[in-house]
A and B are shown apart, each in its own frame.
Chain A
């Protein structure tokens, strides 16, 4: 493969496997609203 003129040597950090995002806790259920007595 032709990569053109070689210019410089660099050091590149390794590939890091994607870290799964921490699971967010499920939102707490809203408190049950008592029917308003009229």
Chain B
């Protein structure tokens, strides 16, 4: 966090997708397990992944405009569902859940979503075929979970 006067006094609530592995939430694109007891904090992974990004110093706090860093979320469920996460699910036999996520800290505002410094799940929509993860996700993340198939395969 910074000492700057906040622009908003309540976290943003966005929509995103996760993979489920061993009853934990993982980021969709990167192999990052979401913690259960503390918020996820954004790191810049540009040194790990060879994406063309804006260069910035390590001292700059993610997310940085033009870089890939930050925790991504769509502003609406409708926009999230336009992205092909369900195709990934079908190809890799991975359970994909979607849900609401709190976002705060340093946040980059986009036309259709946000990139945030901190995030924590708010609620989850678990597809019926992933019902076996219900108890672990509920116990670990302590958020409301609804069994619902949101993707049309």
List the count of A-B residue pairs having beta carbons below 8 Å apart.
87
B109 touches A6 (CB 8 A): yes
Size of interface on A: residues with Cβ below 8 Å to B: 15
Cβ of B5: which chain A residues have Cβ within 8 Å of it?
11
Q: What is the minimal beta-carbon distance from B62 to any residue of chain A, in angstroms?
A: 11
Interface flags for B99-115 (1: CB within 8 Å of A; 0: not) read 00011111111111111
Chain A residue at minimum C-beta to C-beta distance from B7: A10
**Given A11-B107, A12-B105, A1 and B120 contact (CB-CB distance below 8 Å):** no
Knowing that A5-B110, A6-B115, A8-B109 are A-B contacts, what are 5 other residue pairs whose CB atoms are under 8 Å apart, sorted by A's residue number? A1-B72, A1-B113, A12-B11, A13-B104, A15-B104
Residues on B facing A (Cβ under 8 Å): 1-2, 4-12, 16, 28-29, 39, 65-66, 72-74, 80, 83, 102-116, 118, 120
